[in-house]
Amino acid sequence: MLRSLDRLLIVVVVVGWLLGWGNHAARASVDQPNSSQEPLAIIVNTSNPVDDLSQPELRRIFLGERSHWPNARRITLVMMEPGQPERKALVTEVCQMNESDFGRHFLQGVFTGEVFVSPKTLASPVGVRKFVFNVPGAIGYLRASDVDSSVKVVRVGGHLPGDKEYSLRIQPSRASK
Amino acid sequence: MKLAERSSFSVAQNPCICRFSPQVVRLFVAVVMLCIAGRAQTTTGAKDSQEETIKVLLRRVDQLEARVKLLEEAGKTGSAPSPTPGSGQTTTPSESEAEQAQTEHAEPERMDVSKTLLRIRGFGDINFHGDNQKGDTTSFTLGQLNLFVTSDISDKFKFLSEIVFEGGPDNIYGVTRGQTNTFSVDVERMIVQYSHNDYFNLTAGRFHTAIGYYNTAYHHSTWLQTTTGRPFLFDFEDRGGILPIHTVGVSASGLIPSGGLGLHYVAEVGNGRESRSPFTEEPVQNVIDEQNHKAFNLALFARPEAVRGLQAGFSVYRDVLSPSQSPTVGETILAAHAIYIRPSFEWLNEAMVIRHTPQGQRLFETPGFYTQISRRFGSYRPYFRYQYVNSSSQEPIFPDVGRRQGPSAGIRYDASESVALKLQYDYTTIRNQQAISALALQMGFTF
């Protein structure tokens, strides 16, 4: 009887481990937002009627699972180049992936035809800002300090980058330019 | 005097001029003077206009210099205002300001429209394979070379195709066709997609039928797959597969408003699969359907927000097959799937039943399923798959399949972001045949 219970326990632990519970718990403890970290602002074109996006909505958008805004305009994703702290923050915080998985996700999405258009990659915050300014359906991200009046910042989960409760932040160790 | 002499000399030398009277000469001189005056006036006018142009240009240069200065200052000061907490959004520019800026920066939406619209991505695999099946030899094998071509035709339209070069003979329902070591080219997918919104997308061309999950998730890339190959159930038509993997027709797909449930639909109509034996032709009816009846497929699946990575759904496919010298056969394929995929973990489960009803005869059912599980440890991903298909030996369409089942176990090693090495062992039992043990080493890559 004891041996059966032991086996059951081992199976439960192995299955739990396989399902990645351990990883999630570790992640959750690491990813607590810290108000000292610089916020990552989500920006859209000023003509975009969207003011607020929930975190799941944002994730679906940045994973290419949504291709149109409510006003039927096509969504154009703007990403910064791999290695940029802003991009890292978005990929880990919003998409909850690493860079390699993110790239693979898009490759597979385009391959299956589910992702209609792959993201535009731009090198600098100025480039991102300019692109979002020019393209009505664009959505991108910037450090809050790089945002200017040419683009519109959307709330994430009802909060703006200046709010304490705002969840999207850039890791401080890599935040310095 | 000398001058007079010269003049007279010259006049004397030119009889035409010496014939002009002094009045005419005076008149000529007057006309010349007038012309010169007129020309002088014109030059003055042009000078004026040039001056005007220069002034305008200088003004423009001044304006541009001022603008450059402003931009430089803005760059130095780290740009404009940061978001104001609680204001709903950042300081939005006034409409006129935005309009002015839009005019100044006006660029087309498609910023890379001047560049090529065609993108090509490649997938390929090279294998080393051996098994204990009689007549088989251990061989290095070139797998598929897949050129995946996409193009954004416009905002709403997209082109996508897979052009696949592959070696070896075709195997269609057990009938072998073609040379062993020659390569052939297949256009495996060729579609134009129209995306109206998230709820309605239309696809026309040759596509992978939305039966189950695997068929529309991995297509012709082994690199994207965890294992070295597809499950029996989803083998391609020209590799012994039993399903109508490809369809030529149209497909509508999109979201169904369902909140967090994340319901999606796919509705397809097409030529279906060729069924007229002997199979000497391409099994996919690319150009002409052997009959007027069309194949239909309807798939529904959910991706609930609450369990990210989970997808569960079902599909119903219906066609009428017309094999030569036998009655028509009604074909219904019912499939269901539940898959859970996260970056480091995957669990795929699919089951289906293929029902063939020859006119006036009994129903033949072929059930099948597979389950596949894998977990990533850094660059390594061990995996396990068990699969099963059971077809009657009286089956009217694919009597060669029989019952085959067995496990596969392997490990995938991602040597780089684009290259995967896989080692897989398969053990397959087949009804009335010797069990097959096979070992395969594969290098799958994307480029």
ipTM of the complex: 0.72
Three-class SS of residue B111?
coil
Residues of A in contact with B80 (CB under 8 A): 147-150
d(CA B241, CA B173): 7
Which residues of B, range 332-361, sit inside 8 Å of A by Cβ? 342-345
Domains annotated for chain B, with CATH where assigned, are 134-446 (2.40.160.10)
Q: Which domain holds residue A22?
A: 1-30
Same domain, A21 and A108: no
Same domain, A109 and A71: yes
Q: Count of residues for chain B? A: 447
Contact B119, B149 (CB under 8 A): yes
pLDDT higher at B28 or A67? A67
Full-model pTM:
0.72
Same domain, A139 and A105: yes
How many angstroms separate the CA of residue A6 from the nearest CA in chain B?
Answer: 23
Same domain, A2 and A74: no
Same domain, A127 and A98: yes
Same domain, A23 and A76: no
Same domain, A4 and A39: no
Residues of A in contact with B84 (CB under 8 A): 160, 162
User: Across the strands, what pairs with B319?
Assistant: B331
How many angstroms separate the CA of residue B84 from the nearest CA in chain A?
Answer: 7
User: Across the strands, what pairs with B429?
Assistant: B405
- Report how far Cα B184 is from the mean position of its chain's Cα atoms: 22
The residues, ordered by sequence, that sit 6+ positions from B244 with a Cβ below 8 Å of its Cβ are B209, B211, B237, B272, B273, B295, B317, B319, B333
Q: What is the pLDDT of residue B262?
A: 92
Same domain, A68 and A16: no
Which residues of A, range 141-160, sit inside 8 Å of B by Cβ? 144-155, 160
How many angstroms separate the CA of residue A174 from the nearest CA in chain B?
Answer: 19
Residues of A in contact with B375 (CB under 8 A): 18
Joined tokens for residue A137: 């359906």
Which residues of A, range 97-136, sit inside 8 Å of B by Cβ? 97-98, 100-101, 103-104, 107-108, 110-113, 116-117, 120, 130-131, 133-136
- Report how far Cα B156 is from the mean position of its chain's Cα atoms: 14
Chain B touched by A167 (CB under 8 Å): no
Q: What is the pLDDT of residue A36?
A: 62
- One-letter amino acid of A96: Q
Same domain, A125 and A96: yes
Same domain, A107 and A26: no
Residues of A in contact with B384 (CB under 8 A): none
Q: Exposure of A58 by Cβ count < 10 A (0-12 exposed, 13-18 middle, 19+ buried)? A: buried
Instruction: Return the CATH number at A88.
Output: 3.40.190.10
Three-class SS of residue B107?
coil
Total tally of structural domains belonging to chain A: 2
User: Which sign does the torsion angle of CA B208, B210, B211, B216 carry?
Assistant: positive
Same domain, A57 and A101: yes
Q: Which residue of B lies nearest to A100 if distances are taken between CA atoms?
A: B417
Q: What is the pLDDT of residue B75?
A: 55
Same domain, A19 and A98: no
pLDDT tens track, chain B, 447 positions: 343 333 333 333 443 333 445 554 555 555 554 444 444 444 444 455 566 666 656 666 666 776 666 666 655 544 443 333 333 333 333 343 444 444 444 444 444 555 557 889 999 999 999 999 888 899 999 998 999 999 888 888 899 999 999 887 777 766 777 777 888 888 999 999 999 989 999 999 999 999 999 999 988 889 999 999 999 999 998 888 889 999 999 999 999 999 889 999 999 999 988 876 655 567 888 888 888 889 999 999 999 988 989 999 999 999 998 887 788 899 999 999 999 999 899 999 999 999 999 988 899 999 999 999 999 999 999 999 999 999 998 888 888 888 999 999 999 999 998 999 999 999 999 988 889 999 999 999 999
